[in-house]
Amino acid sequence: MISATFAGFWLVFLTTVYVFWERLSVNAVRYILFSVLIIYQIRWGSAWLVLPPQELPVAVIASLLYTPMLLMVLGLMEGQRTGVIVGMSIALFMAITAQVGSLRPEVAEVALGDPRVGTLIFLLITVYVFIGNAQAVQQTLLEERGKQTKLMQTQANSDPLTAMLNRRGLDVAITDLLLKQKPFGVLMIDVDHFKKLNDTLGHAVGDSVLSRISTIIKSSVRDSDIAGRWGGEEFLVLCASGETSQILGFGERLRAQIELKSQDGEAPVTVSIGVSISLNEPFDNAVERADKGLYQAKEDGRNCVRACWPEV
């Protein structure tokens, strides 16, 4: 009678949890798992110490099957340290209870030939399937949250106008490049007469120009290169090359592409480019030299590429 009542309670309880699973918070799931674990330990202890010995086989099988699964899930949720502490405490309680309960004369005479075992095993497998499905649902939710987190990180590192890396995203990329300890090219690109264009034709046209130039830059760089919007009308390209001639040639090709392809737009524009190279040094040094090259390009009439290499 007690086993049947307990099985009925367990079935109703699991059904309720399954129906409301997606609405449950992590804390609610935690409390449910702890509650079920405590219920099974009460069932285990009462079967050994208090209840008629006929209840022992079913209680033992149920507890030995469920308790490890519950402890495993709790360990995954709470971490290794808490999982070990809870697990050792439960193991100690079950060992002491069984040791004391086995001294009861009536318990010693009980065999495990209980006709309810088959039905119980069926219920246990059904419950195991429920737990597996519930875990799969939880895993799906975690994956979805992971995708959302990745999307948020991408949005935080992207410039909304050009869809290129923003200053923050470039900082991350620069850190990765510096960790490789290999030389790489630095190209600082500035739109010529952009302030005049904005004042004359309006910010909407200015935004369109920046978007068009970013598209040209993205289509011109290689997969190994990194491009982003440095700020305002400035773009930064990190070229995966340690040869000064290749860096300078790439800058010239990029300038020519922008001049050629931007002529079809509402406001034809050109760019000035300053190039340098980063040689296992603070990145600010390379940027400062690229800025000097950009300043020289503007002094020389704009729409050109000028280099400022480090002194060796």
Residues known to be catalytic: 233
> How far, in Å, CA of 140 to CA of 134, rounded?
10
CB 230 within 8 A of CB 236: yes
Unique residue bearing structure tokens 């340098």: 276
H helices present in the chain, as ranges: 2-19, 26-49, 56-78, 80-101, 105-108, 117-156, 167-180, 194-201, 203-220, 244-261, 283-299
> How far, in Å, CA of 173 to CA of 167, rounded?
10
What sign for the dihedral angle of Cα 75, 76, 77, 81?
positive
What sign for the dihedral angle of Cα 43, 46, 48, 54?
negative
> How far, in Å, CA of 238 to CA of 227, rounded?
6
**Angle at the Cα of 245 from the Cα atoms of 239 and 251, rounded to 5 degrees:** 50
> How far, in Å, CA of 247 to CA of 264, rounded?
27
* DSSP 8-state assignment for residue 168: H
* DSSP 8-state assignment for residue 53: G
